[in-house]
């Protein structure tokens, strides 16, 4: 691990992670852009269905990502076979979680209770879309165990190539299933889900092939033995708080989508565009944060605390610079961005008003991301969860509902008009409060990270 210039090592590892992340998020971009060129009913169905799926998937993915610091610390300590054993235990956990997650998506009406009266045609398409994704979920979570192992040992290029290849197949199957052809009727939003189902299982097959042949993975002797409760407890002790943190982060988007449905088809479509764009931008700080966290965890595992500290601080600087550069693009290219997403004039008009908050939101999101990931490298997950529940849920989610659609609906109208002139007050309020929650959480997490560094310094680390 580099000690003179940790930022070089972070960038070397993070760019394949970033490409993989962008390739993954392009699935959602393709779905939104391609379904957006069908009709408003399909777009709303996909927007609501995707918000439900993302809530389930991200929460469960967070639990699986406990493998990253666990395997990285084993790797840093030279305990390679223990890292391979930990991966096998993660496979069992992924299978169990996929059953729970898939079942939760088979009952969309429970989720749609927040959305008011949804047209029957929209509900039917949501049910079909989620059925396909429920069948895809086991493959996605199992692939995430491979992703976690690759990230932990700084072998991310193979996963990147798999993700890049999946984009081409996703575009091919999306075109066929969404718009029809070759004897198949157009399936709209449901077709997007079926395309994801096919491609996700192809990705898992490619991932298994990779770890059975690549020397770096073979050195860990990755194997699936019997599930051991002691190992599962370690995964859950770290994974449940991490999953909770991931879930809290994504709930703002999911519940916004469900609540905004009350404002009609056009507002839902515009909300989906902004949420999709913010998620796309998030991939840069997320990849830098993952790289920083895995390298920091390797240093912690090797008892190189000074190197861990340097890596963390360099990662924070890189994420801040990346966020500022991203914001330049968001400011100057709003028109072309919206045009790429939809042909529907009313959806585009609302989307342009919402995108005014994107640069502000993205910077807060990036700072929150790096602060949370660095703490996870030290296997600190419960404290971030408590802080996130307080700020993201209390201030961001509950506050956004209270002031946007609840008893005090419209109270922030002057603020929304300043941040997002012309935007619907309800959805604008939700975004502003979510941004405030992220900003507060970032400050609290950075303060705790400072406490961790100070404690190590006093201990003579």
Domain boundaries, the chain: 6-453
Residue 300 is predicted with a pLDDT of: 87
Q: Quickly state the pLDDT bin for 242 (edges 50, 70, 90).
A: confident
Choose between 17 and 103: higher pLDDT.
Answer: 103
Residue 365 is predicted with a pLDDT of: 93
Q: What radius of gyration, in Å, describes the C-alpha atoms of the chain?
A: 21
Among candidate residues 347, 176, 201, the one with its CA nearest the CA of residue 269? 347
Residue 396 is predicted with a pLDDT of: 84
Whether the pTM exceeds 0.85: the reply is no
Residue 136 is predicted with a pLDDT of: 94
- pLDDT tens-digit series, residues 385-394: 888 888 888 8
Q: What is the rounded distance in angstroms from the CA atom of residue 455 to the CA atom of residue 458?
A: 5
Provide mean pLDDT across the span 228-250: 86
Contact indicator for 69, 292 with CB cutoff of 8 Å: no
The residues with which 181 forms a beta bridge, in sequence order, are: 184
pLDDT tops 50 at residue 135: yes
Any residues with CB less than 8 A from the CB of 107 and at least 6 apart, and which?
none
Residue 292 is predicted with a pLDDT of: 94
Q: Which two tokens stand for residue 145?
A: 């165990």
pLDDT tops 60 at residue 461: no
Provide mean pLDDT across the span 430-445: 91
Within 10 Å of residue 109's Cβ, how many Cβ atoms? 10
Choose between 48 and 101: higher pLDDT.
Answer: 101
């Amino acid at each position: 691990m580099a000690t003179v210039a940790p930022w070089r090592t972070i960038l070397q590892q993070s760019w394949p992670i970033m490409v993989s992340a962008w390739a993954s998020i392009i699935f959602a971009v393709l779905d939104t852009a391609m379904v957006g060129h069908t009709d408003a009913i399909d777009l709303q169905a996909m927007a609501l269905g995707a918000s439900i799926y993302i809530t389930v998937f991200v929460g469960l993915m967070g639990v699986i990502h406990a493998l990253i610091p666990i395997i990285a610390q084993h790797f840093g300590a030279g305990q390679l076979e223990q890292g391979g054993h930990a991966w096998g235990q993660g496979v069992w956990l992924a299978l169990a979680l996929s059953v729970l997650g898939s079942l939760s998506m088979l009952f969309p009406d429970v989720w749609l209770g927040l959305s008011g009266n949804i047209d029957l045609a929209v509900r039917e398409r949501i049910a079909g879309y989620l059925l396909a994704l429920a069948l895809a979920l086991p493959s996605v979570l199992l692939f995430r165990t491979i992703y976690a192992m690759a990230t932990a040992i700084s072998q991310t290029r193979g996963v990147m190539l798999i993700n890049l290849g999946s984009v081409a197949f996703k575009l091919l199957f999306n075109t066929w299933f969404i718009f029809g052809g070759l004897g198949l009727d157009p399936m709209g939003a449901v077709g997007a889900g079926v395309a994801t189902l096919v491609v996700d299982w192809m990705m898992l097959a490619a991932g298994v092939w990779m770890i059975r042949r690549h020397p770096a993975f073979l050195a860990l002797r990755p194997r699936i033995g019997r599930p051991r409760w002691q190992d599962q407890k370690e995964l859950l002790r770290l994974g449940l708080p991490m999953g909770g943190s991931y879930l809290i982060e994504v709930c703002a988007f999911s519940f916004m989508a469900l609540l905004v449905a009350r404002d009609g088809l056009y507002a839902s479509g515009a909300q989906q565009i902004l949420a999709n764009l913010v998620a796309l931008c998030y991939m840069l700080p997320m990849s830098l944060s993952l790289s920083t966290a895995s390298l920091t965890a390797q240093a912690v595992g090797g008892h190189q605390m000074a190197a861990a500290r340097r890596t963390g601080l360099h990662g924070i600087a890189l994420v801040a610079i990346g966020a500022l550069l991203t914001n330049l693009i968001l400011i100057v290219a709003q028109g072309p961005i919206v045009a790429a997403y939809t042909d529907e004039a009313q959806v585009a008009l609302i989307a342009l008003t919402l995108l005014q908050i994107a640069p502000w939101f993205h910077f807060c999101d990036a700072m929150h991301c790096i602060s949370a990931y660095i703490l996870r490298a030290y296997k600190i997950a419960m404290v971030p969860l408590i802080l996130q529940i307080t700020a993201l849920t209390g201030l961001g989610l509950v506050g956004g509902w209270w002031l946007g659609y609840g008893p005090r609906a419209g109270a922030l109208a002057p603020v929304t008009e300043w941040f997002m002139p012309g935007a619907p007050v309800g959805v604008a309020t939700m975004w502003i409060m979510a941004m405030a929650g992220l900003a507060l959480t970032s400050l609290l997490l950075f303060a705790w990270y400072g406490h961790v560094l100070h404690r190590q310094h006093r201990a003579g680390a």
